[in-house]
Amino acid sequence: MKNNLIMMKLTIKLLPPYTKSRRPEDHSLQLKAQSIKLEDLVRYINKEWQDILEYSLIDDQKLVNAEFAVNNRLVKLDDKVKDGDQITVLPYVGGG
């Protein structure tokens, strides 16, 4: 059986407060896949990028605690991302 997986390249844009530098940062990520569910990607980043992240993207109850935009459009965690996408990690904003 032929393996149809390709290398997928993504750009991950981290915004404060998630960056240790306290300024927006772009990071490249390559994965062997044609696409990946956003929630799976977030859990992967949270585990593998501990040296980059100032705050965890997953809370104590194992829930994702950020919002995400793919190519400047807000998306849901069950949406898929694909090669060439830019994923922006957005902090939750509260107000009254």
Q: Is the pTM of this model over 0.85?
A: yes
Q: For 61-95, write each residue's pLDDT tens digit.
A: 999 999 999 999 999 999 999 999 999 999 987 65
Is 55 a residue whose pLDDT tops 70?
yes
* Displacement of CA 17 from its chain's centroid (Å): 14
DSSP character at residue 15: -
pLDDT at 96: 56
Please state the rounded mean pLDDT for residues 1-15: 81
Residue 27 and residue 41: Cα distance in Å, rounded?
14
Residue 18 and residue 36: Cα distance in Å, rounded?
22
Is 5 a residue whose pLDDT tops 90?
no
